[in-house]
Structure 1
Amino acid sequence: MIAKIVIAAAAMLAATACANAEDRPLKIGWLMSYTGPGAAAGAASDTAIEVFFKKFGRTIAGRKTEIIKRDTTGPAPDVARRLAQELIVGEKVDFLAGMDFTPNTMAVAPLSTSAKVPLLIVNSATSGILAKHPYAVRFGFTTTEMAQQLAGYASKQGFKSVYTFVQEFEPGLDAEAMFLREYKAAGGTIAGSVRAPLKATDFSAYIQRIKDANPDAVFVFMTASELPPIFLRQFKEAGLDPAKIIGIGDITDEASLPSAGDAALGVVTAFHYTQTHDSAANKEFIDAFKSLAPERPVSFVPVVSYDVLRAIYQVVEAQKGELTPDRTMELLKQIKFESPRGPIAIDPATRDIVQTIWFRKVEKRDGQIVNVEFASTPDVKDPGSAR
C-alpha cells in the first residue's frame, strides 16, 4: 500500500512538473534574417538550434523552451525594431537573441534596455553596441579585435605598405580605423584606403586603385555574404595575387568558399571560428550538424548560435527557472566554457566576448577549399570597448 502511495505521489509530481513546463515556457525571441541578405546564416542558425536541443533537451529547470523566430529580412533596422517590440510586449519573451546585422542590433538594443530583457548577440561586430545597453551581451566578435590582430601580423611579416579596403558601414569603419591606428603605430605605411557601399557588386574600380598603388598587402573587411567571392574573383582576374590579402574571416566564410574557388587560395584571415579547428568539441558539433544538414557548410553563425543557447541554459538552471533580469546579467558575466571554436568567456567589465583569435590560410585539402589554422592569440578582448 505504501509503495502504491509513493508511486502515485511520484506520478503526481511528474505531472505537476510537466504542467509547469507547459504553463511557464522559457521564451526566447530569435531575431535573424531568414530571407534577403543573410538568409543562409538564418537557416544555418536554425540547424544549430536543433543540434542544441538534440544534446541538451527542450526543458531546463522545469521550463519548456520555446524559440519564437522572427525574420528581419536583412539589414532592416525598422523591421527589427518592430519585431523586437512585438516579442517583448506581445510574447513577453524572457530573452532576445540572434541578431546578425549591426544596424538591426543597434535598433533593438534600446528596447532591450528599457524593458530589461537580456539581449544575447550572435553576430553584430561594431564595438560601440554594448556601452549604453546594460542588458546586452555579445557572443560573436568585433571587427576591431580582428583588425588589431591583423595589424600585428602585418608588422611581424615585414609588410612595409598596406592598402585598406572595407565596406562603408559601422563594422567596416571600426575595422579600418583600428587597422590604420595599430599598423601605423608599428611603423607601417598606408598605401591608400578605399570604402565600398555595402551593396556594391562591382569592385573593379576599387581593385584598379589597389593595383596602381602596388602595396605589399591588402587589408580587407567585407561582411559574410555572396559579395566576398565576387571581390576575390575580380581581384584575381585583375592580375593580383590573392595571397596579398589579409582580412577578417568573413571574406573566406566557409559558406562562400566554394563560390570563391581558387580565387581564395592563399588569403590569410583572422577569425574566431574555423570549420577545420581540431578539437573534440568541434568534431562533435560538426558531426551533429552534418547529420541534420549534410549539404550545409558549418560556419561561425551556427557555432555562436549554439553557444548563446548554452549560455541561456546555464543562467536559467542557476536560477532554478525563476528569472530576474539583473541576476541573469550577473550570471552571464560569469559565463566560461569550451565552445566548438575554442575556450570562451564573457568580460564582466564590458559584457563582450573573450576568445582565441585564429590565423588561417585558405588551402586546398583533399580537393576542398578550406581555411587552415596556423597560429593563434588566446584570451583576446575587444580593444574598442575593453576597460
Structure 2
Amino acid sequence: MSIGGPLRRVMGGRDPGEEHRVSTPLELLFDLTFVVAVSQAASQLHHALAEDDLGPGLAGYAAVFFAIWWAWMNFTWFASAYDTDDVLYRLLTLVQMGGVLVLASGVEDAFDGDFALVVAGYVIMRVALIAQWLRAAAEHPAGRPGAFRYAAGVAVVQAGWIARLWAAGVWEPVTFVALVAAELAVPAWAEARGNPTNWHPGHIAERYGLFTIIVLGEVILGTQSAVRAAVTDRGLSAPVLLIAIGGLLLVFALWWIYFTGADGGLTTLRTALTWGYGHYFVFASLAALGAGLEAALETTEHHAHLTERGAGLAVAVPVVVVLAVLGLLHRLTGTGAVGHGPLVAGGALAVLALGFSPPVLGLGGAVLGMGLAVALTLAANIAVLRRRTGGQGAARGATSPVS
C-alpha cells in the first residue's frame, strides 16, 4: 500500500469469504461522528423525559434516530462490499461524515418540529452514497444492475424527504411513515434480481457489535455526568448510589447478553436484513436507556417534572425492548446468551414490573432491582447453554455474535 493509501483502485466487489476481515480505521473514524449524533438524540430525549413531555419527545427521538441508524447502516453495508480505501472512496466518506455532523446540529430543532437541518445533513450523506453506488456500477460489471438500483432507489427517496419539508398537518406523519417504508424497501428491491451484493457476514456482525459498544459508552458517559451533577449539588445520597450501581449493572449485563454465545451466521439475505433492521430497536433503546437513567437521577434530586414511577418506566421500557429484540434476533441467528426463550421473557417481565415499583422500593431500589433481574436472566440463560453444549460455547465469554 502506498503512503497515505492508494490513489485509485478498481471498485470490484470484495470477497464475502475473505479471512480476517475487520473494521478499518476509516470505518472507526466514521463511527465517531455518529457518537455526536447519538449523543444529541439521547440528550434531547432526556430533556423531554425530564419535562414529562413524553409523546412529542418519543416521536422526535424515533424520527431522528431512524435517520442516524439508516445512514450508518447503509454506509456499513456498502463498505462491506466495496471498500477500496482509495482517495476517492475516502473523500466521499469524508462528505458523509460532514453530513452526520450537520444532522447532529439539527437534532434539537427536530425535537421542536423543524427537520430542515436534519434533512440537509441526511441528504448530504445520501448524495455521497449515491456517488459511491454509481462508481460501483461503473467499475464492477457483475454488480452493475444492483448498484444502479441502489443509486436510483436512494435518489428517489431523498427527493421525497426534501419534498416532505413542505408537508403540513396530517401529511407530516403520513409522509414520514411512507418514506421510511420506501427506505427499508430499497435494499430488498435492489438485491431482488441479479448477483447479490458481496457483503461480508463476519465484517457486518463486527460492525454492529462495535456500534453497540459505542452506544453503551454513551449510556455510561451520560449517566456518569448526571451522577456527578447530583453529587455536586447535594452530595452522594443512597438513591443516587443505587441508580449508579444499577445502571452500570444494566449496561454490563446487556453487553454480556449481546456478545456471549455460540457463533452463528447471516446465511441468507432475509436473515441479514432482519438482523440489520432489528438493530434499529437495539441501538435506539440502548441510547434511550441512558436518557432514562439521567432522568431517573434528576427525579431523585427533584430536578425533573417526572414522577418516580414515570422515571422507573423510562429505565425499564428500553431494557425490556432490548431484551425482547435481542432474544428474537439471537434465536434467529443461533447466537447470543439466549438458552431458553421463556427465560428472556421472564426477565423482561420482571424488569417491567420493577418499572412500576418505585413507589414501593424507591427509585434507586427499582433501578438496582432491574440490574439484578437482567443479570439473573443472563446467568440463567448461560446455565442452559452450558448444559446444552457440555460447558462449551457460552463459556467463551464475549465473542462476535455472528460470524
Does the alignment reach a TM-score above 0.5?
no
**TM superposition score normalised by structure 2:** 0.24
Please state which structure has a larger fraction of its residues in strand.
1
Q: Higher RCO, 1 or 2 (CA under 8 Å, sep at least 6)?
A: 2
